[in-house]
Chains A and B, each alone.
Chain A
Amino acid sequence: MMGKCELEIIDLTKTYEGKNVLDRFSLTLPGKGTVCLYGPSGCGKTTLLNCIAGLEPYDSGSITGTEDLKIAYLFQEDRLLPWISAAENIAAVLRGRKEQNREEARKWMRLVGLEGEDEKLPAQLSGGMKRRVAIARTLAYGGNLFLLDEPFRALDPESKEQMISLMKNKTDDALKILVTHDLQEAEMLADVTYILSGPPVRINKKTVRNL
């Protein structure tokens, strides 16, 4: 499952509001598979994902290997556009022609078990449904690197199982960096789990799943 080294974080340092969130943090990640970052809230996991995605600047250090990657980011919050329908939220991240995007979005709505809910606005959906739309949007966008920040938050056990299976099917060749508080989830999905503490983020333990 684990490929050659593709993504390298070297001596990454970031201070946020006077707090040292990352202090010479280094990590090497493979080209594909699922890497789990497990740690308490506020230890700096999301900041690390934001730095990898290029959404937040860092003070020093480097991240190499992301230049040619298409990054799909599933945020901790759903971040759906409230003024357009669920299906339109998915279509909004696609690059094809309008009608083609709509059809693709409808397909993803079916895949996440939300058939018939296409035209509903996010405010008309439950927390779990919104999460599934956000997952569908991330998967529809696709890429070689998936940043998944607590991806199954607000999902009931059945939906969670469905989403895990869908995610596994659709992201087989990509590298997934999964941030979670749920150790069981980490053990179930990850090829490698890093147990973190902080801030600043530190790796306390690395566990590799036996295949």
Chain B
Amino acid sequence: MKTSITQSKGLFRYKTIRKLLAAVFWLCVWQLIYFAVKQEILIVSPVHVLQKLAELSQDSVFWLTALFSMTHILEGFLLGVFAGSVLAFLTSVSRMLYDIFHPVISIIKATPVASFIILALVWIPSVHVPAFISFLMVTPIVWANVFNGIEKTDKNLLQMASAYRFGAVKTVQRVYLPSIMPYFTAACTTGMGLAWKAGIAAEVLANTHLSIGGQIYNSKIYIETDSLFAWTVVVIAMSVLLEWLMVRFMKTAGQKYNVEQ
């Protein structure tokens, strides 16, 4: 037992070192490109980006901007997860509903995000556009994955549940949810990244007040490359952090309810 704990600790340390080395490698590549280009307007050094981040973070507007962007994107993401799950359930119980919704979902998947952003700017107030776009990007992914999970639920296990009179609630809890969970987790992970990308793009085009996208737009206008890099780092950090928190939450919930990830 002791040996296995020591071994797993060693493995964890080895993995962490490997990841850190990879990060250092890419930071070095970035720095080398910076040395090669030597034009601050095209590329800024990692150190410079860190300095800019430190400078920005001293202003309360920075935190408000990050918070508002996160709120809008999360709002769209959560609505998308909810709508996608409900749609998946409805389309799996009714072929008619599947035939109705499937083309819509396919169109949303195939349409360029920019087209939707421009249309949304015409349809709704610009402040709601990032949330709407995130919602629009997440819904098809969640729908497709959860629908797939429902369809791929083992028919033998469903028959077993029926033979042993599990009832609807127990069948959902014991058979459907554990089958769907890996698909749902994958959809949420992909959806979270996409919600950030599309949401920020919407903020850039909408140039909404107190938004990361708005700041990125301003960086472009005033040719502040360091600011552009710094805000991009903020987006990446927040997306990764939220994805990590979400996976942790799902794992904990899964363990509590005997649901596999």
Residues of A within 8 A of B (CB): 50, 53, 55, 71, 73, 75, 77, 79, 81-84, 88, 92-93, 137, 141
Whether B163 contacts A73 by the Cβ 8 Å rule is yes
Whether B156 contacts A77 by the Cβ 8 Å rule is yes
Whether A81 contacts B260 by the Cβ 8 Å rule is no
Apart from A50-B159, A84-B174, A141-B164, what 11 extra A-B contacts exist at CB < 8 Å?
A55-B163, A73-B164, A75-B156, A79-B157, A79-B160, A81-B157, A81-B175, A92-B164, A92-B170, A92-B174, A93-B164
Contacts of A82 in B (CB 8 A): 260
Contacts of A137 in B (CB 8 A): 164
Whether A88 contacts B156 by the Cβ 8 Å rule is no
Whether A79 contacts B174 by the Cβ 8 Å rule is no
Interface of chain B residues 169 through 214 with chain A (CB within 8 A): 170, 174-175, 178
User: Which of A55, A79, A83 is the one whose CB lies under 8 Å from B178?
Assistant: A83
A92 vs B170: C-alpha distance when bound (angstroms): 9
Whether B259 contacts A75 by the Cβ 8 Å rule is no
Nearest Cβ on chain A to B180's Cβ, whole angstroms: 12
A83 vs B83: C-alpha distance when bound (angstroms): 27
What residue of chain B has the Cβ atom nearest to residue A70's Cβ?
B165
Contacts of A77 in B (CB 8 A): 156
Whether B159 contacts A84 by the Cβ 8 Å rule is no
Contacts of B260 in A (CB 8 A): 82-83
Residues of B within 8 A of A (CB): 156-157, 159-160, 162-164, 166, 170, 174-175, 178, 258-260
What residue of chain B has the Cβ atom nearest to residue A134's Cβ?
B160
Contacts of A84 in B (CB 8 A): 174, 258
Q: Which of B160, B164, B170, B258 has the most CB of A within 10 A?
A: B160
A141 vs B174: C-alpha distance when bound (angstroms): 17
22 A-B pairs in the complex with CB atoms less than 8 angstroms apart: A50-B159, A55-B163, A73-B160, A75-B156, A75-B159, A75-B160, A75-B163, A77-B156, A79-B156, A79-B157, A79-B160, A81-B157, A81-B174, A81-B175, A83-B178, A83-B259, A83-B260, A84-B174, A92-B164, A92-B166, A92-B170, A92-B174
Contacts of A50 in B (CB 8 A): 159
Contacts of B170 in A (CB 8 A): 92
What residue of chain B has the Cβ atom nearest to residue A92's Cβ?
B174
A141 vs B162: C-alpha distance when bound (angstroms): 13
Nearest Cβ on chain B to A118's Cβ, whole angstroms: 14
Whether A88 contacts B258 by the Cβ 8 Å rule is yes
